[in-house]
Structures are given as structure tokens and as C-alpha cells.
């Protein structure tokens, strides 16, 4: 069975040294509750729960899957008991508002816990994970009555939530949805339609499930302007707020999937189910984006967690597996062969995973600070800046970390060789589980269009400038630091190029809108590598400072510098290929006719 140790030392480095979380928390209202001692206790207990409770259920849950009988779904053995421990431990309420029964700690702390959950049991983590998004949507857009009825239960974890968007005929283009909501006499709505790919749509972990459903009113405008949001519970709350009468919503079937077998991915049928309008009529998409943005960050963390899990197990195997001798001569002459970690190509695969895990962690924790500031900040200017940065970084977190997460898990299998292809080692499950992260909550292509089209070009580049100015100031401040020249000089050039390249794409798009779609994915990946380069440069600066001060943990900081150097020398050059591809434009993509794709074989 795969093993996992939460990377607490690296977390402390990023949080305490690099990003100065103690000072960050001190600036937040109530942030004094997140004292270093409290944070340390949360991280240690979260690590224990993930390793001792969730990890042992990961492979068994994958093999067993979920069972559907008479519209009721049973999660794999042990999942329900693990969820009960999760609720008893107060984990669902960690970052929720005390007004709704939460503990009021910063959202960033919950995000750190989420990495550990995703690294040990991604399928299980999706059951409580979606509840946070549902709670956010109700907190921002629900009525007082809806919050009193549903939000408190979601916060305490006794009820879970879903988001019901996709239908059989439409995924990304939500303007095509057919689910209808007809007003009832008493103020509720009869919701009728079918939703597919609904994660945790039906299960036995919690006593009730709160569905947030997109549907159209009878007089709704066409397209996405006519979408409304409704809260539709599995069981209608009775007068005391407890689960009462069964509502007209049932799981019609479970999807047979490539991965995340332990999570119930459902086809949900709504048959005049009683629902209640959330927010204003025809404004459902704006309400749902509150939930979707939180979910997109969460999916990026899934990519990070799987990367870390793959790296840890590949590293352990590479230290133990004996194969051949090192090219430069025996490293372990007392053994029949050398451990494969001595071979350069194995090191390439391990370092790729290590760099993406450590870089991804820095990106998530940097983004988490923006979320803290947006949710709890009191300085208007700082809050506005954080909101701009969060908008820019969300598609990068989601798409880049899942793309490289899939690459990392593939490299993990490769380190194991033929054993990586065998189920019992657990590495092939990481690949299968990682594959969905590039798809749900908006594919990489959709995230790329969001980044380049909506966030950058529609703002005339202003959102990007907020970030590139920060990078520029860092490079300027460290310009004379010879010890950081290997990081600062290439970073400064890329940062300038990023802005120039963006302007060039915008100019081309003025005469041909297809240029945006043609450039978008390469643009996103380029942006991801430059973002990680900035964070690795900051990490290198911190490591240099610690070493110059004679730290007792010199090996850790030397390894941090070595990892940053590997990223700059072996991974950052990928920006060259992405730049060349996006500059090639749309012509070669659009030249061939749709009817000519299949020439050479008959369809």
C-alpha cells in the first residue's frame, strides 16, 4: 500500500518563512486565533487524520466503488465512519463564519488540510469538499431563512452539498440547459430535469444532501441570461429543521469511470422536486460562480495532493529498488546493484515531481492569502488588489496544477517501471484519479479562455499588470544580489516578455477572434511556469538567507536551492516551446476543413 507523510517541514517553510503567514494572520480580524501553536496543532492533527484514517481506505475504496440500490447509494466500506470522525473533529467548520456555527479561522488553513486529504484519498475528499462550495454560495446569496435552514447544517457537516450544472446535452454551454423550475403557490418551485456528472450526488455519509441546481423559469430569457439557482434538498426540512419528507430527486444511475471510484458520480433526476430560489431570478450563473471558483481552487489542490503522493512513493521506491550500476561507477559496491535513485533519468523524474509539488504548494498558499484577504480583509485597497490577483490566478491554479499533476503521476508510474502498472502498488490509481482533474470544474481549455480572454484581454491587461508589477519590484530589489542572479535575471526577462506577448496576442485578436482560442492553452501553461519561477526565486532568496545565518537545518535549504535550480534549468525552458506555439497563431489550426479531418479512412 502506498504511504504518505504530510510535508509539514515544507509547509512551515512556505507559510512561516517565505510568505510570513503569522504576520498575514495578525492583519485579519480575529486572526489572532490562528496563532502559531494553533496552526501547528491543526496541521499535525490533520496530517494524522489523513494518514491514519483516509489513506488505508484509498485503495479499498477504489476497488470496491459505490453501490446503487433502489435510488440509494452506499459509499465504500469505511467511508461513512471516516466521515463521522471528520465531523466529530470539527473539520468542516474550521474556516466557516461563527455566525453559522463555524470556528472562524482563515480559509487558508482549510486549504492546507485539503492538500493532505487529496494526497491520501481524493475520492473520499470530494464528499465534504463540495459542501464548502455550496455553503459559500448560500452565505453570499441565500436568504436569512435559507442560511438558517441549510447553511448551519452544511457548516457542521451533518448535511453535505452538491452543485448540479451539467446536463446530457450540455456541459460548458450552460445556456442550453433544459431543467425547468415552475412556481408553486406557496413560494417554492417545482424543479424538473436531469443532471449528469454530479459528484457526491447521492450517498450514505450524511443525513441529508443539499443540491444547488441551475434551472430556467418559465419566462426566462434565452441563453445564459435566463439561468436561475435553486436549493433542492434530498429530504425537505421539517418544522424543527430536521430531514423530513423525501423530495422528488433521485439518483438514476452511477457513472462507470476511469478513476475516483470511491466517489459517487451520479445521474440525478429531478421530478417536480421542491426547490427554493437562491438570489435573484435569472442571476443564477453569477451565484453559481461563487461556488465554481471555490471548486476550481479545490481541484488545483487535488492536482497538488496527487503530485505529492506520487513523489513520496516514487522516491521511497527509487531509494530501495536495485537495478544496474551507476554510469560513473558503483555507488553501493556492497550490494548486488545500485539503487535506481543514482541514475540521472530517474532523478529527472523524481525532481520533476518534487519541483511541481513544492512549486504548486507555494502557488496554492500564495493564492490562499488572497482568499483570506478577500474574505476577511479590512483594507479596501489591499482587498481590491487581492481580488484582482485571485481572479487572475484561479484558472492558473486549476489548470496548470492539474496538467502538471497528471504529468507527475505518470512519471511516478515510470519510476516504478513494470511495478507501477500493477494495481497493488497504488501508482496507477494516482494516474487514473488525476485524469479527471483536467476535466471537471472547467477543462484546461475553458480555464485558458477564462485566463486569456476574460481575465487578461477584457481588462486590457490590467489584471496581469498587477501581478507583473509585483514580480518586477522583486527583480528590481534583488538586481544587485549576485547569489540570486541565476534566478532573478531569467525571471525579469520572462516577466517583460509575458506583457509584450500578451499585447501581441491582443493586437492579433482585434482582427481575428480565433487567435484567442488558438493561443490560450499555451498562454496558460507559459503563465503557470513564469508564476512558479517567481515563487521559486522567492524561495531561493529565503533559503540563501537561512544558510547565511548558519541555520541548523542546512540540508533542507540546500535542497530547496537545488530544486529551484532544477526548475529553472530543466522545466522553465518549456516556456520557449509554448511561446513559439502560441505565436504561430490560428492559421494552421483553422486551415483544414472539418470534413477533411478524416481523409484516409471512412467514417
User: CA angle 370-445-267, nearest 5°?
Assistant: 90
Mark out the alpha helices in 50-165 (DSSP H runs).
Answer: 55-64, 79-88, 107-120, 122-141, 144-146, 152-156
**Quick check: 391 and 358 in contact, CB under 8 A?**
no
**Quick check: 224 and 237 in contact, CB under 8 A?**
no
Using a pLDDT cut of 70, give the percent of the chain over it: 100
My answer on whether 299 and 326 are in the same domain is yes
**Quick check: 151 and 137 in contact, CB under 8 A?**
no
Q: What is the mean pLDDT of the chain?
A: 96
The CATH number covering residue 404 comes to 1.20.140.10
My answer on whether 466 and 553 are in the same domain is yes
How many beta carbons lie within 10 A of that of residue 344, not counting itself?
Answer: 9
**Choice between 316 and 291, residue whose per-residue pLDDT is larger:** 316
**Predicted local confidence at residue 151, as pLDDT:** 95
Q: Which of 171-180, 308-317, 510-519 has the lowest mean pLDDT?
A: 171-180
Indicate whether 546 belongs to any domain. yes
Residue 431 CA to residue 389 CA, distance in Å, equals: 31
Q: Spot the catalytic one: 167, 428, 441, 515.
A: 441
**Predicted local confidence at residue 174, as pLDDT:** 78
Using a pLDDT cut of 90, give the percent of the chain over it: 93
**Predicted local confidence at residue 220, as pLDDT:** 93
Mean pLDDT of 353-374: 98
My answer on whether 421 and 310 are in the same domain is yes
CA dist list (Å): 324 to 338, 345, 583 = 6, 13, 44
Instruction: Quick: pLDDT tens for 393-437.
Output: 999 999 999 999 999 999 999 999 999 999 999 999 999 999 999
My answer on whether 468 and 431 are in the same domain is no
Residue 406 CA to residue 495 CA, distance in Å, equals: 26
Predicted TM-score (pTM) of this structure = 0.97
CA dist list (Å): 140 to 152, 275, 376 = 14, 18, 14
My answer on whether 415 and 512 are in the same domain is no
How many beta carbons lie within 10 A of that of residue 457, not counting itself?
Answer: 19
**Quick check: 66 and 262 in contact, CB under 8 A?**
yes
Which residues are paired to 67 by β-bridges? 74
**Quick check: 225 and 282 in contact, CB under 8 A?**
yes
Q: Which of 125-139, 424-438, 493-507 has the lowest mean pLDDT?
A: 125-139
Residue 441 annotated as catalytic: yes
The number of domains in the chain is 2
Instruction: Quick: pLDDT tens for 191-224.
Output: 999 999 999 999 999 999 999 999 999 999 998 8
Nearest to 180 by CA among 263, 105, 284: 284
- List all residues 6 or more positions away from 151 whose beta carbon is below 8 Å from its beta carbon: 100, 135, 138, 139, 142
Indicate whether 79 belongs to any domain. no
DSSP 8-state class, residue 426: S
Instruction: Read off the pLDDT band of 599 (50, 70, 90).
Output: confident
Beta strand pairing call for 265-278 and 249-254: antiparallel
Indicate whether 288 belongs to any domain. no
Instruction: Read off the pLDDT band of 592 (50, 70, 90).
Output: very high
Indicate whether 38 belongs to any domain. no
My answer on whether 497 and 390 are in the same domain is no
Q: How far is CA 486 from the centre of its chain?
A: 31
CA dist list (Å): 150 to 198, 271, 419 = 19, 21, 47
Residue that terminates a domain, selected from 435, 462, 480: 435
Beta strand pairing call for 228-233 and 265-278: antiparallel
How many beta carbons lie within 10 A of that of residue 22, not counting itself?
Answer: 14
Instruction: Read off the pLDDT band of 175 (50, 70, 90).
Output: confident
Indicate whether 387 belongs to any domain. yes
Indicate whether 175 belongs to any domain. no
**Quick check: 502 and 460 in contact, CB under 8 A?**
no
Indicate whether 153 belongs to any domain. no
My answer on whether 409 and 536 are in the same domain is no
My answer on whether 554 and 494 are in the same domain is yes
How many beta carbons lie within 10 A of that of residue 500, not counting itself?
Answer: 9
Q: At what angle do helices 107-120 and 36-49 cross, to 10 degrees?
A: 20
Instruction: Quick: pLDDT tens for 440-466.
Output: 999 999 999 999 999 999 999 999 999
CA dist list (Å): 129 to 121, 162, 297, 386, 576 = 12, 9, 11, 23, 37
Residue that terminates a domain, selected from 435, 466, 499: 435
Q: What is the domain range of residue 454?
A: 450-589
Instruction: Read off the pLDDT band of 364 (50, 70, 90).
Output: very high
My answer on whether 429 and 517 are in the same domain is no
- Residue corresponding to grid cell 511561446: 579
Mean pLDDT of 362-390: 96
On the question of pLDDT at 148 being above 90, the answer is: yes
Cell of 424: 497493488
**Predicted local confidence at residue 206, as pLDDT:** 98
Residue that terminates a domain, selected from 391, 411, 435: 435
Residue 428 CA to residue 416 CA, distance in Å, equals: 10
My answer on whether 519 and 424 are in the same domain is no
Q: In the chain, what is the straight-line distance between the N-terminal and C-terminal CA atoms, in Å? A: 45
My answer on whether 560 and 492 are in the same domain is yes
- In order, the DSSP letters of 234-279 are SEEE-TTSSEEEEPSEEEEEE---SS-TTS-EEEEEEEEEEEEEES
Beta strand pairing call for 249-254 and 243-246: unpaired
Q: How far is CA 286 from the centre of its chain?
A: 20
Mean pLDDT of 229-238: 97
Instruction: Quick: pLDDT tens for 56-78.
Output: 999 999 999 999 998 899 999 99
**Predicted local confidence at residue 30, as pLDDT:** 85
My answer on whether 389 and 516 are in the same domain is no
Nearest to 119 by CA among 313, 296, 404, 261: 313
**Predicted local confidence at residue 603, as pLDDT:** 59
Instruction: Read off the pLDDT band of 315 (50, 70, 90).
Output: very high
Instruction: Read off the pLDDT band of 288 (50, 70, 90).
Output: confident
Residue 85 CA to residue 105 CA, distance in Å, equals: 20
Query: Cα-flanking dihedrals φ and ψ of residue 476, to 5°?
Result: -60, -45
Residue 566 CA to residue 578 CA, distance in Å, equals: 19
Q: Is 241 left (phi over 0), alpha (psi -120 to 50) or beta?
A: left
Indicate whether 122 belongs to any domain. no
Nearest to 16 by CA among 585, 564, 553, 563: 553
CA dist list (Å): 123 to 65, 307, 397, 566 = 10, 15, 20, 32
> Using CB atoms within 10 A of its CB, is residue 541 exposed (0-12), middle (13-18) or buried (19+)?
buried
- List all residues 6 or more positions away from 405 whose beta carbon is below 8 Å from its beta carbon: 302, 303, 304, 306, 307, 356, 360, 434, 437
Amino acid at each position: 500500500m502506498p504511504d504518505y507523510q504530510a510535508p509539514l517541514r515544507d509547509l512551515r517553510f512556505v507559510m512561516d518563512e517565505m510568505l510570513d503567514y503569522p504576520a498575514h494572520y495578525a492583519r485579519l480580524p480575529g486572526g489572532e486565533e490562528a496563532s502559531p501553536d494553533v496552526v501547528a496543532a491543526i496541521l499535525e492533527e490533520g496530517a494524522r487524520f489523513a494518514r491514519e484514517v483516509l489513506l488505508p481506505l484509498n485503495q479499498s475504496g477504489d476497488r470496491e466503488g459505490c453501490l446503487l440500490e433502489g435510488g440509494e447509494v452506499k459509499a465504500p466500506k469505511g467511508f461513512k465512519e471516516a466521515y463521522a470522525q471528520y465531523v466529530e473533529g470539527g473539520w468542516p467548520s474550521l474556516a466557516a463564519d461563527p455566525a453559522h456555527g463555524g470556528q472562524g479561522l482563515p480559509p487558508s488553513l482549510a486549504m492546507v488540510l485539503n492538500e493532505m486529504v487529496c494526497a491520501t484519498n481524493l475520492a473520499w475528499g470530494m464528499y465534504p469538499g463540495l459542501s464548502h462550495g455550496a455553503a459559500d454560495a448560500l452565505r453570499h446569496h441565500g436568504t436569512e431563512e435559507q442560511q438558517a435552514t441549510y447553511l448551519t447544517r452544511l457548516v457542521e457537516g451533518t448535511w453535505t452539498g452538491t452543485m448540479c450544472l451539467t446536463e446530457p446535452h450540455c456541459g460548458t454551454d450552460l445556456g442550453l440547459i433544459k431543467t425547468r423550475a415552475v412556481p408553486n403557490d406557496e413560494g417554492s418551485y417545482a424543479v424538473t430535469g436531469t443532471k449528469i456528472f454530479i459528484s457526491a450526488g447521492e450517498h450514505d455519509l450524511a443525513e441529508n444532501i443539499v443540491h444547488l441546481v441551475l434551472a430556467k423559469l418559465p419566462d426566462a430569457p434565452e441563453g445564459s441570461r435566463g439561468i436561475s439557482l435553486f436549493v433542492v434538498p434530498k429530504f425537505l426540512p421539517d418544522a424543527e429543521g430536521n430531514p423530513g419528507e423525501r423530495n422528488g430527486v433521485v439518483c438514476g444511475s452511477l457513472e462507470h469511470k476511469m478513476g475516483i471510484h470511491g466517489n459517487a458520480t451520479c445521474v440525478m433526476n429531478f421530478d417536480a422536486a421542491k426547490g427554493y430560489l437562491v438570489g435573484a431570478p435569472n442571476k443564477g450563473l453569477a451565484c453559481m460562480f461563487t461556488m465554481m471558483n471555490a471548486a476550481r481552487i479545490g481541484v488545483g489542490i487535488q492536482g497538488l495532493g496527487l503530485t505529492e503522493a506520487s513523489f513520496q512513493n516514487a522516491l521511497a521506491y527509487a531509494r530501495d529498488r536495485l537495478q544496474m550500476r551507476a554510469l560513473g561507477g558503483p555507488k553501493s559496491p556492497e550490494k548486488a546493484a545500485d539503487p535506481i535513485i543514482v541514475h540521472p533519468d530517474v532523478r529527472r523524474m523524481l525532481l520533476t515531481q518534487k519541483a511541481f509539488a513544492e512549486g504548486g504548494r507555494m502557488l496554492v498558499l500564495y493564492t490562499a492569502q488572497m482568499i483570506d484577504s478577500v474574505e476577511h480583509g479590512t483594507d479596501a485597497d489591499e482587498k481590491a488588489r487581492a481580488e484582482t490577483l485571485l481572479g487572475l490566478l484561479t484558472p492558473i491554479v486549476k489548470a496548470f496544477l492539474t496538467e502538471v499533476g497528471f504529468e507527475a503521476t505518470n512519471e511516478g508510474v515510470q519510476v516504478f517501471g513494470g511495478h507501477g502498472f500493477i494495481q497493488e502498488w497504488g501508482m496507477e490509481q494516482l494516474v487514473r484519479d488525476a485524469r479527471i482533474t483536467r476535466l471537471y470544474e472547467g477543462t484546461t481549455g475553458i480555464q485558458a479562455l477564462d485566463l486569456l480572454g476574460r481575465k487578461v484581454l477584457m481588462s486590457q491587461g490590467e489584471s496581469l499588470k498587477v501581478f507583473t508589477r509585483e514580480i518586477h519590484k522583486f527583480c528590481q530589489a534583488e538586481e544587485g544580489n549576485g547569489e540570486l542572479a541565476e534566478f532573478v535575471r531569467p525571471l525579469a526577462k520572462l516577466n517583460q516578455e509575458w506583457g509584450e506577448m500578451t499585447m501581441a496576442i491582443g493586437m492579433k485578436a482585434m482582427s481575428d477572434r480565433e487567435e484567442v482560442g488558438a493561443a490560450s492553452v499555451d498562454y496558460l501553461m507559459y503563465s503557470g511556469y513564469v508564476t512558479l519561477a517567481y515563487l521559486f526565486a522567492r524561495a531561493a532568496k529565503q533559503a540563501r538567507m537561512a544558510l547565511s545565518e548558519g541555520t541548523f537545518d542546512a540540508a533542507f535549504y540546500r535542497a530547496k536551492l537545488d530544486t529551484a535550480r532544477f526548475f529553472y534549468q530543466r522545466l522553465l525552458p518549456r516556456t520557449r516551446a509554448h511561446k513559439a506555439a502560441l505565436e504561430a497563431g490560428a492559421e494552421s489550426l483553422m486551415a483544414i476543413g472539418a470534413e477533411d479531418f478524416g481523409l484516409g479512412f471512412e467514417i
